[in-house]
Each structure stands twice: as structure tokens, then as C-alpha cells.
Structure 1
Amino acid sequence: MKDELRYIGQKVVEKKIELAKKVDFGTDGQLMQKIAVSKFPLTERVEYRAKLIGYFGEALYEDTEIIKERVSDWAAKAAHVAINDHISLSSTLRGIYSYRTVIWDVFTEELEKRKFAPITMLDVSKIIDPLIDIVCSIIGEEFEKHNHNLMKVAYTALEELSVPVVPLTEGLAIVPLVGNIDTHRAKLIMDVTLHEAAKLKLTDIIFDVSGVPIIDTMVANQLFHIVHALRLLGVKVMLTGIRPEIAQTIISLGMDFSGIQTRASMKQALEEIGILKS
């Protein structure tokens, strides 16, 4: 039995380039279009397909664990190529299953020539099918990582838009805050404002908190840290939209906001600065 598997495996390895050229994705028109304009040259693509076919052949007579590692590495790179070529996950997986047809064509041919025992077919299947499953699994994982990273980038960009630093005049910007502020968003507000303050060479920032529905102990404490961090950079901070209950919260915490100017509204602050006329 081992001799039969070795013979078939060696035949697959010998013919891997020839077999790679037979890998056909013709039933998937979208995949064929993407491949046609791929940045991955056809010659290199054929050679890369041949590698996987060669691994399938080697698996019939080499250490399976070593082959699994090689197959996993192959799948990871194949996933990155597909992602860069904007090929969908479903098309990529359908393409992988076409390798099975090529391998079985070789096996069927040799089976007829050499009169192998029918059980040999089952043994080949037990070795190669799990490898194809590994390829599909790794590709799926790589696509999932890619999509997760895209979502993370999009979410980060959306978060940063939730902390708009709007320059008004040289050295002055306003930060209108809207919505709830939790610990994560407070850190984001600090990171963005510190970065923009340095980038825009700001000397004054006006935080308008009239759009923040609840300013509890935690939020007030976070605002205090943000203001303190900006003051360390030499940026003067003014808070506008302070409601009576917010003032009470600040006082109850014993926070020293004496060095921070506060105004009832953004309009009042801008009028005092001279940007708006009353």
C-alpha cells in the first residue's frame, strides 16, 4: 500500500507544473476576470499553484506534519494575493477545490494503468482532503483578519471624527463634544486634542460640552485630566456649555478648575474673543 501511495505521490510531484496549468477556474467568470488583471504574473502564479500540487504529492510519502506546515504557509500567501487582487473569499475557496479535480485525474489515470487496489483511492483521499481543508481554513482566517483590520481602521477613523478639532484663527481651535463620554472616548479626546494642539501650534482650545447629556463624576474627572495634559503643553483651555449640575459635580469632586475659564455658551466665548459680534 505504501509503495502505491509513494508511486502516485511521485507522479504528482513530477507532473506538478503540467498539472498546475490544468487548474481551471473557468466556471467562475468573476474569478477569471480578477486573475486576468492580477499583479501576480501568470508564470509565477502557475509556479505557485505547482507548489501546492507538489505538497499534495509529497504528503503521500513524506512526514504529514511537515507538509501541513508548508501547506499552511502556502495558504497564507495565497490569501494575501487574493486580497490584494480584490478576489472574494467565496471565489478563492472555489478555486482551491479545483485542485482536487486535477489530483484525482492523475490518480484515476494511474489507477487504471497500474490496477491499484480500490482501497488506495480511499487512502489518498484521507491524506489529501484534510490538506485541502487546512488550505481553506487558513485562507478563511486570513480574510477574517483582513476584514477585522479594515473594520478597525474604519472604526478608528469614525471615532476620530467624533472629536473634531476645528481651527478658528491662528492658535485657536474649538472642540464641540457631542454624545456620551466613557473612559475609552475620553482617552481618544485626549490623544486627538494633544496631537492636533501640537500639529496646529495651538495656544487656546475651547471645549464645548453643551452636547454631552451626562457629565458624572467619571466624565468630570476625565475632562480634568485632558485639561491638565493640555496645560502642560502650554495650551489655555476654556470650557463652554457648563450647566449648573455640571458645576456642582466639579465642586463636589474638589477639582481645581480655577485656572480654567468657563462660559455659559460657545457664542458667549466667541463674542468675548472677538470672533463673533454680539
Structure 2
Amino acid sequence: MKDELAYIGNKVIESQYILSEKTLLLLNQFYIEEGLNIYTDSDREKNNKWNAKLFSIMGATLKGDIIEENGLVNWAKTTGETLVKNHIPLSVSLRSFSIFRNVIWHVFTEELEQKSFAAITMLDVGKLIDPLLDEMSAIIGQVYEEHNRNLMKIAYTALEELSVPVVPVAKETAIIPLIGEIDTDRSQLILEVALEEAAKLQVEYLILDISGVPIVDTMVADNLFKVVQALDLIGVKTIISGIRPEIAQTIISLGIDFHKITTCANLQTALSSIGLKRIIE
């Protein structure tokens, strides 16, 4: 039985480029039917050699040879990255790999008929090849997952940056209008953006307007203190505007000390306090 598997393995390795060519033609037809066109004549030879590597791995597996470390993993990862780059949907990619399975099983069927191999040999072939192809599909699925996670991370970062806009209103003066709840992550972002933009814009005054912040508790107040202190270290004077009556009551009831921070009831008052009346008139 091992001899039969080794024979089929050698046959696959010897025919790897022929099998790859057949696979490439079928893949091209499959993608065209899906309304996709990712193969070009200039890439034909490169793609043929690349797919031949997978058939070589299959052949070596059947022979029981030691496969190059991470050979299948590297093949699957690179293939997955190429598919992602070409914007091929995951469902389409996974269905396309049935073509590799069909091509390799066609070889087995021919050998079974020509050499009168025992039926159990074909079962053994399936036990070796099917897990290999399943692993390949799983790795490619992981590549797609990682790509989607990166896209979500980029989108979340962009959204976060939009949540802390820095608006220059005059020479050496800027405003950061804050809207929505302030949690630990957003507090850190506010600190980073305030320091970076204040230095870049060379502002003397930075107004943190919290009119749109629904709740100011101990944590929010502590985080605002940190922003003010950090800005003070780089020579930027900070004003906190938008202290609504209910927020003032909350601050008093919590025993939060705002005496060392310049505060204003609204943005107009804050701008007026630094001599920018004409901007709000």
C-alpha cells in the first residue's frame, strides 16, 4: 500500500507543472464566471510555477517525504494575501480551491483504473490529501480575518481621530470641541492629540470645550487635569469651557478641585477671556 501511495506521489511530482497548467485554466474560467479577472498572460508562467509548488507538496505528502518546514503555511499565506490584494471575496476563494481537489483526484482515478490499485489506497490518499487542503483553506481564512481586523483597526483609529478635532481659530489659539462620553482610551487620545497639535500649530492657548460631554465624573475630571498639566509643561495655557450648571453641581458634590484650572461657562466667554471678541461677534 505504501508503494502505491509512493507511486502516486511520484506521479504527482513529475506532473506538477501539467497539473498546475490544468488548474490555472480551470481557475481562470471559474473567476471569469464569477465576474472576476485576476489572471493576465504576463503572470501565467509565475502563477503556473506557484501552483506547481502545492502539487509538489501533495506529492511529497503521499510519498511520506519530509516536507519543507512551513512549506504549506507559506504557500497558503502568500496565496491568501494575493487573493486579498485582488479583492477576491473569501467565499469565492474557498470555493476556488475545490479545483485543486478535483484535479488531484482526477489523477488518482486514472491511476486507480490503469494500475488496478486497491480501493483502500484511494481512501488512504484521501486521508492524506484532504486534511492538507483543509489546512490550506483554514490558513487562507485566517489571512482574510487578519486583513479584516486591520481594516477595522484603521477605521476605528480614523474615527477616534475625528472624535478629537483641533480647530485653529486665530493665531496661537485653537479649540478642541469634545462631544460624547470620555473613557480611558479616548482620554489618552485627547492627551496625545492635544500635545501633538499644540506643538505643531505653536498655540499659546488651547480651549477644551466640553459642552457636548454628557457626564463629568471623577475619572473624566482626572483625565482633564492630566491634559491641562501636560499642556502646561510645553507652555500652553488651557481653558476648559462648557461647564454647564448640572456639571458644576456634579463637580462640587464629588469634591473635585477645579480652582487651579481656568474654566468658562461657554465657548464665547472663553474666547473673550483671551481677547478674541471679534471672532464671536
Query: Taking structure 1 as reference, are residues 254 and 181 closer, same or farther at Cα in structure 2, changes over 3 Å only?
Result: closer
Instruction: Report the Cα distance in structure 2 between the residues aligned to 1:241 and 1:277, rounded to whole angstroms.
Output: 15
Alignment partner, residue 150 of structure 2: 149
Alignment partner, residue 41 of structure 1: 43
Query: Taking structure 1 as reference, are residues 34 and 68 closer, same or farther at Cα in structure 2, changes over 3 Å only?
Result: farther
Instruction: Report the Cα distance in structure 2 between the residues aligned to 1:126 and 1:67, rounded to whole angstroms.
Output: 20
| Correspondence list, 1:70-219, <5 A | 70-219=71-220
1:180 is displaced (CA, Å) by 0.8
Q: CA offsets, 1:62-90, max 9 Å, x none? A: 257x4683212210111111111111111
Alignment partner, residue 13 of structure 1: 13
CA-atom RMSD, angstroms?
2.1
Instruction: Report the Cα distance in structure 1 between the residues aligned to 2:198 and 2:80, rounded to whole angstroms.
Output: 41
Query: Taking structure 1 as reference, are residues 32 and 210 closer, same or farther at Cα in structure 2, changes over 3 Å only?
Result: closer
Instruction: Report the Cα distance in structure 1 between the residues aligned to 2:142 and 2:74, rounded to whole angstroms.
Output: 13
1:34 is displaced (CA, Å) by 3.2
Instruction: Report the Cα distance in structure 2 between the residues aligned to 1:111 and 1:149, rounded to whole angstroms.
Output: 47
Alignment partner, residue 52 of structure 1: 54
Q: Is the 8 Å Cα contact of residues 30 and 96 (structure 2) preserved in structure 1?
A: no
1:230 is displaced (CA, Å) by 0.9
Query: Taking structure 1 as reference, are residues 265 and 256 closer, same or farther at Cα in structure 2, changes over 3 Å only?
Result: closer
Query: Taking structure 1 as reference, are residues 68 and 119 closer, same or farther at Cα in structure 2, changes over 3 Å only?
Result: farther
Alignment partner, residue 64 of structure 2: 62
Instruction: Report the Cα distance in structure 1 between the residues aligned to 2:36 and 2:22, rounded to whole angstroms.
Output: 17
Secondary structure of 1:167's match? strand
1:181 is displaced (CA, Å) by 0.9
Instruction: Report the Cα distance in structure 2 between the residues aligned to 1:58 and 1:100, rounded to whole angstroms.
Output: 16
State the AA in 2 paired with 1:19. Answer: L
Q: Is the 8 Å Cα contact of residues 208 and 240 (structure 1) preserved in structure 2?
A: yes
Q: CA offsets, 1:215-243, max 9 Å, x none? A: 01111111001111111111110111113
1:47 is displaced (CA, Å) by 0.7
1:257 is displaced (CA, Å) by 4.0
Query: Taking structure 1 as reference, are residues 21 and 161 closer, same or farther at Cα in structure 2, changes over 3 Å only?
Result: same
Secondary structure of 1:214's match? coil
Query: Taking structure 1 as reference, are residues 83 and 198 closer, same or farther at Cα in structure 2, changes over 3 Å only?
Result: same
Alignment partner, residue 32 of structure 2: 29
Q: TM-score, normalised by structure 2?
A: 0.91
1:113 is displaced (CA, Å) by 1.5
Secondary structure of 2:63's match? coil
1:263 is displaced (CA, Å) by 1.4
Note the residue ranges of structure 1 that are not aligned, 5 or more in a row. none
1:199 is displaced (CA, Å) by 1.8
Q: Is the 8 Å Cα contact of residues 68 and 131 (structure 1) preserved in structure 2?
A: no
Instruction: Report the Cα distance in structure 2 between the residues aligned to 1:63 and 1:146, rounded to whole angstroms.
Output: 33
Note the residue ranges of structure 2 that are not aligned, 5 or more in a row. none
| Correspondence list, 1:219-234, <5 A | 219-234=220-235
- The percentage of counterpart residues that share the same residue type is 48
Q: CA offsets, 1:28-61, max 9 Å, x none? A: 42667331369x9221111110000110111001
Query: Taking structure 1 as reference, are residues 186 and 216 closer, same or farther at Cα in structure 2, changes over 3 Å only?
Result: same
Aligned residues: 275
Instruction: Report the Cα distance in structure 2 between the residues aligned to 1:216 and 1:37, rounded to whole angstroms.
Output: 61
Secondary structure of 2:215's match? coil
1:255 is displaced (CA, Å) by 3.5
Instruction: Report the Cα distance in structure 2 between the residues aligned to 1:140 and 1:98, rounded to whole angstroms.
Output: 17
1:95 is displaced (CA, Å) by 1.6
